[in-house]
A = this chain, B = another copy of it.
Amino acid sequence: MRALLISIPLTILFASAPLADPLPSWTDTATKDRIIAFVEGITDPDSPDYVTPAARIATFDNDGTLWAEQPVYFQLLFAIDRLKEMAAADPGVLTSDVLRAAVEGDMETVAASGTEGLLEIVSTTHSGLTVDEFQAVVRSWLDTARHSGTGLAYDQMVYQPMLELLTYLRDEGFRTYIASGGGLHFIRVFSESAYNIPPEQVIGSIGNGSYSAGDGPPRVMKDPGLFFIDDKAGKPVAIEARIGRRPVIAVGNSDGDFQMLEWTTAGDGARLGILLHHTDSEREYAYGRESHIGQLARGLDEAASRGWLVIDMARDWERIWPSRE
């Protein structure tokens, strides 16, 4: 026995010693193993999958991927709260049925108004002020508003396993970007504090903007109307325009992320598409195929044939929120 032990070179003993787990809130399943194996291949100069640090780009959807999105997109809740404040100061802002329904809490009418109604609510509440002023309003809302289900501040309803994945990727030389259908200026208010993602690495939908000077301090204004929707086929277009590189890893949770994953994983060399499937009605929410928000149908249908990794929240995550358990 002693002779056998001595015959094992020390280097092998050290090489097989377990390193610190980079994803401690992930259950030890094949999902976690595949993520780590992928990152190790990308970063090993001797691997055929090696990618230079400059090309290590990872893009993450936000709503339902980095933070929760149920029962309603948090940005819409912000917009309605802001609309109520605006209407209290000047009821004249309520110029349509959908705006009146929103302040009365008649979410059925709001939902029935479709995308057009939602955009009217967003445009009304996200324009007519400077970017700085808007972001101060969002900051103040985040500091006081609480989620009806958990009682948590909205920017505390981020997924601990995703925070670990972001940190792990950055530690391995990746730059982590958000590519969200949500608002660029809205997300930037908390992206740095919640995710350690700086403003220049946030890609999102954006309204019209303009520059004003002469009649006051030089400033960038948020104007009515939508300039770009960063969703579905808009995501690859915006990522290309903003970064100029195809991501190596793309992470989403809904069919709004389908094209981002499709474009990413069609690139040369090793690429990884990841979908988060919300399967945990006890600790978070269970939804997907039939959901009115975050619908995931085509993604589930095609993930296997496309080689995309599907995270099963209930199975793969030991912990959901940073502040709990």
Tell me which residues across on chain B come within 8 A of A54, comparing CB atoms: 198
Task: Say how far A213's CB is from chain B's closest CB, in angstroms.
Answer: 6
Task: Say how far A221's CB is from chain B's closest CB, in angstroms.
Answer: 9
A206 within 8 A of B: yes
Partner of A259 from the list B213, B243, B245 (CB cut-off 8 Å) is B213
Cβ-defined contact, A211 with B233, below 8 A: yes
| Pairs A–B under 8 Å by Cβ, sample size 20 | A131-B240, A184-B244, A188-B244, A199-B244, A199-B245, A200-B200, A200-B242, A206-B241, A211-B236, A211-B237, A213-B259, A213-B266, A218-B259, A218-B266, A219-B263, A220-B236, A220-B237, A220-B240, A220-B263, A242-B242
Considering residues A184, A240, A244, A245, which has the most beta carbons from chain B within 10 angstroms of its beta carbon?
Answer: A244
A224 within 8 A of B: no
Number of interface residues of A (CB under 8 A): 31
- Residues in A191-240 with C-beta less than 8 Å from chain B: 198-200, 202, 206, 209-211, 213, 217-220, 233-234, 236-237, 240
A211 to B211, CA, bound (A): 30
Task: Say how far A114's CB is from chain B's closest CB, in angstroms.
Answer: 23
A262 within 8 A of B: yes
A213 to B54, CA, bound (A): 26
A243 to B198, CA, bound (A): 9
Considering residues A199, A202, A217, which has the most beta carbons from chain B within 10 angstroms of its beta carbon?
Answer: A199
Partner of A200 from the list B211, B244, B266 (CB cut-off 8 Å) is B244
Task: Say how far A197's CB is from chain B's closest CB, in angstroms.
Answer: 11
Tell me which residues across on chain B come within 8 A of A237, comparing CB atoms: 209-211, 220
- The closest CB in chain B to the CB of A223 belongs to B237
- The closest CB in chain B to the CB of A199 belongs to B244
Tell me which residues across on chain B come within 8 A of A245, comparing CB atoms: 199-200
Cβ-defined contact, B243 with A199, below 8 A: yes
- The closest CB in chain B to the CB of A244 belongs to B199
Task: Say how far A90's CB is from chain B's closest CB, in angstroms.
Answer: 27
- The closest CB in chain B to the CB of A232 belongs to B211
Contact indicator per residue, chain A 106-133, by CB within 8 Å of chain B (1) or not (0): 0000000000000000000000000100
A236 to B233, CA, bound (A): 27
Cβ-defined contact, B210 with A233, below 8 A: yes
Tell me which residues across on chain B come within 8 A of A184, comparing CB atoms: 241, 244
The answer to whether residues A241 and B209 also contact, given A220-B236, A220-B263 and a CB cut-off of 8 A, is: yes
Cβ-defined contact, A236 with B218, below 8 A: yes
Considering residues A200, A233, A263, which has the most beta carbons from chain B within 10 angstroms of its beta carbon?
Answer: A200
Cβ-defined contact, B266 with A217, below 8 A: yes
Partner of A211 from the list B188, B210, B220, B259 (CB cut-off 8 Å) is B259
